[in-house]
Amino acid sequence: MAFVISDRPIGSPFARHPEIVLALNQPSAVKYAPLMGLGGLLVVNTSLAELPPIRPDMRLIPVAANDLAEAAGDICLANVVMLGALSAAHPVLPAATIETALERYLPERHRNLLDANQAAFRAGMAGERAQTRMAA
């Protein structure tokens, strides 16, 4: 699934040359790595995907998101781990804003997972700091 985030009207939700991709699985890594825009940032969940070849201008962040999510309390939080890695590598929003949003908007039925969500987000941030690399 791809998202287009903009403060201007969006003509098409498909990004032809995305600047940032969070590849949670192998098909996403294979599909989007060659489409990346110049200087793009590719975050790959290495629990489920092998690292694809990347161009010299790209940044690659390998994150064992499923493993980190499981350690944080729930394997279903791999997406939150990936968000943490992105936040550390390319702070679209301050980390504190994302953590506040988790507290404020997590549905009542999932409030028991707030601590695990926060732990997963922080694990992703810490994992990114240890793993970021440029293409060889």
What's the pLDDT tens digit per position in 75-91? 999 999 999 999 999 88
What's the pLDDT tens digit per position in 98-113? 999 999 999 999 999 9
pLDDT at 91: 84
Domain ranges of the chain: 21-134
| Mean pLDDT, 10 residues at a time, the chain of 136 residues | 64 80 95 95 96 93 96 94 93 90 92 94 82 51
CB distance 80 to 124 below 8 Å: yes
pLDDT at 136: 47
* C-alpha distance from residue 22 to each of 8, 27, 42, 108 (Å): 22, 12, 6, 27
Looking at 6-113, list the stretches that DSSP marks H as alpha helix, in order from N- to C-terminal side: 26-32, 65-72, 78-89, 95-105
CATH superfamily of this structure's domain 21-134: Pyruvate-ferredoxin oxidoreductase, PFOR, domain III (3.40.920.10)
Helix axes 78-89, 95-105, angle to 10 degrees: 150
